[in-house]
Structure 1
């Protein structure tokens, strides 16, 4: 089979839609080791026991839609218009309501509205708002992106990052912020996981989709570095990076 050229790989990855939070386009082109705890399964177990739940920053709704049972009151928030539309189409038939929200305080819900709040990979956790919308005894359960995640790729394009940038999203900081908001942290688990990019198209797609990794990324702006990385992958094999993930569960005191 003829090997595809740099231009072909990049053009394809630059044209494909990056709406939603489904990474299946990368199947066979990139691999990411998954955390051992299985967030979606654990989230599903908690949702099955909840009466009213909120999924913050649901993306395209794919993770929430994949759980077996939703509570009778299920809401989700999302800020990016293409994802709002996609999540609505996916989740509305399941009985979940998607609310367009800018992902900044305040959340558009009453105090104590939910007994469970979940979120997978929130861009930022607003702990005070999470505590406010939780009922007494309610639980926040989330998988966060940890510090220096995929920084091998970030630093390939942007150069060495300052220490404060490498430490951002540290689970110790999340614990401190949750406790400052009045929540009791029940559990925290952290892992660093191997990620491999097998062709330059996978890199382009990933950076177009996860827009905060290399802010302002475009193929044209980084074409020279992309070509160098393509040549490196062709000669040395997959580009290896490491994702950081942590699981956190916190409870609002009360009955």
Structure 2
């Protein structure tokens, strides 16, 4: 029976994933995270109430932004850099009045100077120089970011290194990118919550959805490590990893 269950979990690699929708593992409780001391959604809702023109950077499939439509300002835009997500985001957001743009270069956003009084960004890259160009004086940039050592225990388990491109990404390095003569730091926080996987299939689904965690991940290459993890979860009941999250709110001077 154990062998049958193990191979059934391996089939999770075939599960459909589109947009930025983790409901099949989050909403079912197959993966859970400990609490942060802040809520990105609540920060956004509060900031939107004082805004007239808003940009959501890296909207994914529009899953998060669409849930806040009751707080939308008069004018709202969204960008997305992953091409397959763009039509998904358009389908979800354009009926709500959101203009969706595909963006492939953080340094060249398709907006005029001083266009936005609020720019929000959840787990997306950005160019501070370009933010400065498109935000209005006294405009707000509000972001929640994933640190470079996020879920490092996954890499340790599979014997792979943390991506060197991201490993130095943390709150301190993000703060250093905002010149004090151009930006005011309004809020900043960094925390390291625990993310718990309750079954092997949830781990496989996660690695398929976030391919940069283990870039060369495949069932064939890592089957032995996956079987060891299957036994570990069977014995302990879960697999814990450490997330890295930071929140930053800055005002343009």
Normalising by the residue count of structure 1, what TM-score does the alignment of the two structures yield?
A: 0.91
Residue 179 of structure 1 contacts residue 185 of structure 1 at CA under 8 Å; is this kept in 2? no
Question: What pairs with 1:105-116 in structure 2 (closer than 5 Å)?
Answer: 105-116=107-118
Match of 2:128 in 1: 127
In structure 2, what is the Cα distance between the partners aligned to 1:161 and 1:49? 39
Asked whether the equivalents of residues 57 and 76 of structure 1 are also in contact (C-alpha less than 8 Å), the reply is yes
Asked whether the 8 Å contact 1:57–1:103 carries over to 2, the reply is no
Structure 1 runs (4+) deviating above 6 angstroms are none
Describe the shift of the 1:9–1:103 C-alpha distance in structure 2 as closer, same or farther (beyond 3 A): farther
Please tell me the root mean square deviation across aligned C-alpha atoms, in Å.
2.0
| Distance change in 2, residues 1:159/1:181 (3 Å) | farther
Matches within 5 A, 1:142-221: 142-159=143-160, 161=162, 167-179=167-179, 182-221=182-221
**Counterpart-to-counterpart distance in 1, 2:34 and 2:165:** 23
2 CA distance for matches of 1:235 and 1:160? 26
Q: Distance in 1 between matches of 2:123 and 2:188?
A: 15
CA contact 1:127–1:181 (8 Å) conserved in 2: no
Assess if the C-alpha contact under 8 Å between 2:207 and 2:213 holds in 1: yes
For residue 73 of structure 1, report the CA deviation from its aligned partner: 1.1
Partner of 1:230: 230
CA offset at residue 59 of structure 1? 0.8
8 Å Cα contact 1:187-1:249 kept in structure 2: yes
SS at the partner of 2:243?
Answer: strand
Partner residue in 2 for 1:14: 13
Kindly state the Cα deviation for residue 158 of structure 1 after the two structures are TM-superposed.
3.4
For residue 219 of structure 1, report the CA deviation from its aligned partner.
Answer: 2.1
User: Hey, what does 1:98 align to over in structure 2?
Assistant: 100
Pairing 1:60-71 to 2, within 5 Å after superposition = 60-67=61-68, 68-71=70-73
TM-superposed deviation, 1:14: 1.0
Deviations 1:191-223 (A, max 9, x none): 110111111111111011112111132222322
Answer yes or no: is the 8 Å Cα contact 2:160–2:214 preserved in 1.
no
Residues 78 and 103, structure 1, Cα contact 8 Å, conserved in 2: no
